Structure 1
Amino acid sequence: MVSAGGTARWREPVPLAPHVGPPWLRPLLDNVDKVRGAYRRRVPAEVLAMITDANAQAVAEGTGRDAAVLVLFSGPPDMPADGALPPDADLLVTVRASTLRHHAGQAAFPGGASDAEDGGPVATALREAWEETGIDTSRIHPLATLERMFIPPSGFHVVPVLAYSPDPGPVEVVDEAETAIVARVPVRAFVNPENRLTVYRASSTRRFAGPAFLLNQMLVWGFTGQVISAMLDVAGWSKPWDADRVLELDEAMALVPTDGEGV
């Protein structure tokens, strides 16, 4: 494992240990290769074509940047007696500062651009998570990497790193100029049909809409919302929800609770 704090050795490749994942994560781990397909099914054909073209251009021009995000699940190591998802399982999510150049104010997995000295995408995801949330990376077990995905607005080729910790310890905002909120969100909050909706940008038509989650203190949408939605589908955790609940992005953001209630 990579050690935490100032002794972190991010230059070394970090091995994956899928066997460490708890039984309740097996439905996702055993089908991790299907997440990209589930993600792409949520993206309208016009948008998918645009992403494909932008990706090809970035590769041809050499302008794309490598990046990684940490998709960290926490929860008990054992399967509940009823075989269901543990009620205390959670997912680490941040909200980016409103002053950032890209994706300002957007909920995201901790992560960012790769450094030349990083020993691969797993090291990048762990380093960025430590820098953003102060998490003790020695408590984290990287399980698998998802296929690299391209995000046109920022030009990043992103590798989501799926990881697990039975107890990740305290997390917090480390740099307010970069991160506004750090939260361990219950997975049941994403599964709850009442928290699900579809959002679209004011400059787009509804055919560009994507899955979103209206949670306490945040609206999870865009790339992060699509990845979470795909993981729920692949793991078999999704429940039927109102697909006709479609809102423009600003309308949806106006519904984000500000009083600490809402999930």
Structure 2
Amino acid sequence: MSDGRFGELAHRLADPALADALSDERRPVGAAQAAVLILLSDSDEPDLVFTERANDLRKHAGQISFPGGGLEKGDAGASAAALREAHEEIGLDPAAVSVLGELPATRLPVSRFDVAPVVATWNGDAPIRVASAREVAAIHRWTIRDLASPEFRLMSRHPRGQIGPAWQFGDLFLWGFTAYLTDELLRLGGWEQPWDHTRVVDVPARFLVDRGHPIA
């Protein structure tokens, strides 16, 4: 890990005041039941690894997400669970990863899960692939430069009226919980740039699929 590149981020992740800043709807009600891996490449042009969920999953089908899933009995905490899930989903060797820290466990209102976001780094060159086609349709890597760029940033509007941060890269739409975590990471890493919060776009139907049917 490069202390010069991510040292400040690691310091901020260790701040206990982060949990106090959670909104009431995001505040966990118990121990985390799931974990996701927010994976930064330790390179001159850092990027983040995202997965595109398989289209026939019962929950969040087709959506852009971070690797992750539920904690299992043998997991020694959230970091172990996130690394195990990343290995199962994208073939990432846990030995190639250095954990920086965790964002506060956060309530995912839709599933009522408390999720621990684990922030980690890797060299960006270790092989990854779609290791579980049952769960993952594709892997996407977007640079911090592009994620911070106002060109790709907008606000998403759900059919039920909820509005939140989002990104659009061609026909791919990043929104919801993963976008919330990405937005928080950019802020903590000092990478955030001013962008137009009045640019509001309806979430495309392709990214609203649940149980095989669009959410109305």
- TM bracket, shorter-chain basis: 0.7 to 0.9
Q: Which residue of 2 aligns with 1:232?
A: 186
**Shift of residue 167 of structure 1?**
3.4
Residue 68 of structure 1 is aligned with which of 27, 35, 38?
35
SS in 1 for 2:124: coil
**Shift of residue 27 of structure 1?**
2.7
Q: Which residue of 2 aligns with 1:181?
A: 138
**Mapping for residues 1-263 of structure 1, pairs under 5 Å:** 20-32=1-13, 33=15, 40=22, 48-50=23-25, 56=29, 66-76=33-43, 86=44, 88-204=45-161, 208-216=162-170, 218-250=172-204
Aligned partners of 1:35 and 1:213: how far apart in 2? 24
- Read off the aligned partner of 1:145 and give its amino acid letter: E
Q: Percent identity?
A: 34
- Read off the aligned partner of 1:238 and give its amino acid letter: E
What is the aligned length?
Answer: 206
TM-score (norm 2): 0.85
Given that 1:139 and 1:168 are in contact with CA atoms closer than 8 Å, whether structure 2 keeps it comes out as no
Indicate how the Cα distance of structure 1 residues 50 and 237 shifts in structure 2: closer, same or farther if over 3 A, else same. Answer: closer
Given that 2:155 and 2:164 are in contact with CA atoms closer than 8 Å, whether structure 1 keeps it comes out as yes
Aligned partners of 1:49 and 1:247: how far apart in 2? 25
- Read off the aligned partner of 2:68 and give its amino acid letter: G
Given that 2:159 and 2:202 are in contact with CA atoms closer than 8 Å, whether structure 1 keeps it comes out as yes
Higher strand share: 2
TM-score (norm 1): 0.71
Aligned partners of 2:26 and 2:124: how far apart in 1? 37
**Shift of residue 245 of structure 1?**
0.7
Indicate how the Cα distance of structure 1 residues 252 and 100 shifts in structure 2: closer, same or farther if over 3 A, else same. Answer: closer
Spell out, residue by residue over 1:203-258, the C-alpha distance to the aligned partner (whole angstroms, 9 max, x if none). Answer: 22xxx21001112552111111011111111222111111111011127969xxxx
CA RMSD between the two structures: 2.4
Given that 1:145 and 1:159 are in contact with CA atoms closer than 8 Å, whether structure 2 keeps it comes out as yes
Aligned partners of 1:123 and 1:167: how far apart in 2? 20
**Shift of residue 25 of structure 1?**
1.3
Indicate how the Cα distance of structure 1 residues 192 and 37 shifts in structure 2: closer, same or farther if over 3 A, else same. Answer: farther
- Read off the aligned partner of 1:221 and give its amino acid letter: W
Indicate how the Cα distance of structure 1 residues 165 and 24 shifts in structure 2: closer, same or farther if over 3 A, else same. Answer: same
SS in 2 for 1:31: helix
- Read off the aligned partner of 1:226 and give its amino acid letter: Y
Unaligned regions of 5+ residues in structure 1, if any? 1-19, 41-47, 77-85, 255-263
